[in-house]
Amino acid sequence: MRAGELAACRGRLEEFASELFAPLVRRDQREKGSLYVRGLLLDGRRKSMQPMAERLGADHQQLQQFMTSSTWSVGDVRARLAWRAVRVVRPQVWVVDDTGFPKDGTASPGVARQYSGTLGKVGNCQIGVSVHAASDTASCPLSWRLFLPTAWDTPEAAARRRACRIPDGEHHRPKWELALEMLDELDGHGLRPAALVADTGYGANAGFRHGLEARGLAYVLQAKGEMTAHAESSEPHQPAYGGLGPRPLPRYRTRPLSLRDHVLAAGRHHGRTLTWRKGSKAAMSSHFVLLHVRLAGRRPKPAADGTIPLTWLIAQWPEDETEPVKYWISNLPADIPAKDLVRLAKSRWRIEHDYREMKTVLGLDHFEGRSFTGWHRHVTLVTAAHLFLTEQRRSPKAPARA
């Protein structure tokens, strides 16, 4: 935002910051939080602390101290931010995703040579995992976690961990475990999704799916065509009991097929053309085949009678393709309309909008500090700036340029 645009909405921004930073006990911390968000919103090529302080006419050292060594709790701010985001966005789904932060050197917390979808290759970067609230018209992150690769858990990394002030209890955990931790944190604040969506990095992971099911959460997850499943009609076989030892568990005797093979066997004629949203030029439509299957793999979760629950299999099979191009699985009820299933499966597109705006406009990946806590504070305050812009766009009385 230009200086004049920021001045025009200064009152709304002060009200926004007053609510967001109310949990902070000290007045100077609340003022610094508001100042940092203003710096993120104000036009400028770099949104790291020194150039922001220069544009704001503020003391760079005080801003740095607020972000890296001050005692305020980012969790308290994040909880208020999440509640306000849910009120503004009115989400139809929550989305789990992750994004890369390219870095030079090895001193930033969590940096390593690792695959990043942002880069489209393996590169030197940090990875942030996030949970977003999303509707067809708006979206906003609710929480963040910095992923720590295994290299940050070795004895050789001890000096780097101390330099980055990484807490002793923070160690390498898979991204899907970080996502479940955030869902539990948000649930502790009284926030739960109507349904959750994620890409194949999460959908293909049985531990993540079982974690969602254990929490009673509905999901629509992108999957790989190589994942295996039994047909809807398959039934478990109960082996005869010989009278000694524990009774054998029921098991499926049929060989599971890949999701791809299930859809090919059903045939393209089994599907229909469905529209999931209106695009900028035309309605977004494609041909989909929807089936019920029983997921197999190495860790299926059968019921007491050995039956594996039915799962939706959604396959996108465009007219000009010889086989499906995308797959999703879902534990939503059997009577949910097909158009709603497809709409939910396709709702991840909003999150790319979030990442793009937060990086190109609000400096999400401009943080130059080397503090683990500072990184989480920065991404949380960038999220606050993003939510403020979202509020302005959704209010007809307060237009704001993104």
User: What is the reported pLDDT for 141?
Assistant: 97
CA 51, chain centre distance (Å): 30
Q: Please tell me what DSSP assigns to residue 400.
A: -
Task: List alpha helices for 229-371, DSSP H.
Answer: 259-266, 338-345, 349-360
pTM: 0.92
Which residue type is seen at 298? Answer: R
- By the 8 A CB rule, do 10 and 1 touch? no
Chain center to CA of 230: 30
Q: What was the pLDDT predicted at 324? A: 97
Angle of helix 27-41 relative to helix 10-20, nearest 10 degrees, comes to: 130
What span, in angstroms and rounded, lies between the C-alpha atoms of 236 and 79?
45
Residue 316, amino acid: Q
| Distance set, CA 75 to CA 48, 65, 91, 204, 359 (Å) | 22, 18, 21, 30, 22
Residues 167-189: tens digit of each pLDDT: 999 999 999 999 999 999 999 99
- The predicted structure's pLDDT at residue 250: 77
Query: What are the phi and psi torsion angles at 288 (to 5°)?
Result: -130, 145
So what's the pLDDT on residue 27? Answer: 94
DSSP labels for 273-288?
A: EEEEEE-SSSEEEEEE
Q: Which residues of the chain are under the pLDDT cut of 70?
A: 299, 396-402
CB 288 within 8 A of CB 316: yes
E strand or H helix at 77: helix 74-89
Amino acid (1-letter code) at residue 27:
R
Contact assessment for residue 19 and residue 80, using Cβ atoms and an 8 Å cutoff: yes
Q: What does the pLDDT read at residue 396?
A: 57
CB 37 within 8 A of CB 384: yes
Take residue 90 and report the two structure tokens written for it. Answer: 């009115």
User: Which residue, 99, 209, 102, 87, is CA-closest to 142?
Assistant: 87
DSSP structural state of residue 112: E
List residues bridging with 124 in a β-sheet.
113
Please tell me the predicted confidence (pLDDT) of residue 241: 79
Determine the pLDDT at residue 402.
Answer: 43
